[in-house]
Amino acid sequence: MITPVPLGTWPTPLEAAPRLAARLGLVELWFKRDDLTGLGGGGNKIRKLRYACAQAIAAGATTVITSGAPQSNHARLTAAATARLGLSCVLVLAGPLPERRRGNLLLDGLAGAEIVWAGDRPLAEVVAVEAERRSAYVIPFGGTSPASVQGYVDCARELRAQLPTVDGVEVVTALGSGGTMAGLVRELGPQRVIGVDVGAVPDPRATVAGLLVGEVEPDALRIDGTQVGAGYRTLTDAARTALEVTARTEGVFLDPTYTGRAMAALLAGSFPRGDRVVFLHSGGLPGLFGHPEL
């Protein structure tokens, strides 16, 4: 297994959330604070990038390229990670150049990333062209690959050390490109992890199972699909409510795309669960400032 590069601050905190637990009717609720990973504004992508960037360096890369939505947390953290490691960074972002730079997009530029706007072209097509032209190492969408799944095996092992009774809890996480859920499932098992689909991929069940080939049957995965709403880039009413409830009970800020949807599912009781839960806070705070409608 490849040795990860030294990005981030570990372990991230595990914090009790008793007021929100009472609101949810839980005996115990904890936040695993992967929004506090210590680089580039924090977030879960740093765990994956420790492995993805190690692969890029091992391949002799001097330039890294990746893709995402305009408010991509992965793009922001790739820009920060490559700046820390002395690599050049190219971000291929969906759609046209916006009128104003907000949220993650502002931070991408501050970290020195070059941004290529895909317009109406498929992201994968633009990434392939730009990668060949620049001899760049490609990090997949969301930083998710079979190798980077190990980042969330690491996280699950942290949880075991921080919470001796972790075998009796369920872990709730947003499900985007699949790597976070896959790593947690690999270490904790499929019955202990609940992924809330945010609409980032067409078939989240197949995506997660594809990262765990031979380890788990797709039907064994616990995936809640009730919070996608009108799509990945939209702000749902349920997510807005979840942001408000979490901030007003625990002083913790969620993001509108990932953790907001995951908490919305928990508030709605839209999946069966026990009474002891760890909520994986995957970060994304800068994305709040990319949603002027909030």
How many DSSP H helices and E strands does the chain contain?
10, 10
Alpha helices by DSSP H, listed for 163-235, are 179-188, 204-211
CA distance 180 to 280: 9
Per-residue CA distances from 238 to 177, 229, 234, 260, 277 (Å): 21, 9, 11, 8, 20
CA distance 260 to 11: 23
Could you confirm whether 72 is annotated as catalytic?
Answer: yes
CA distance 278 to 257: 19
Alpha helices by DSSP H, listed for the chain, are 18-24, 45-58, 73-85, 103-110, 123-134, 150-162, 179-188, 204-211, 237-250, 259-268
Type of residue numbered 29: L
Cα-Cα-Cα-Cα dihedral of 137, 140, 143, 144, to 10°? -130
Among the listed residues 67, 72, 148, 177, the single catalytic one is: 72
Active site residues: 72
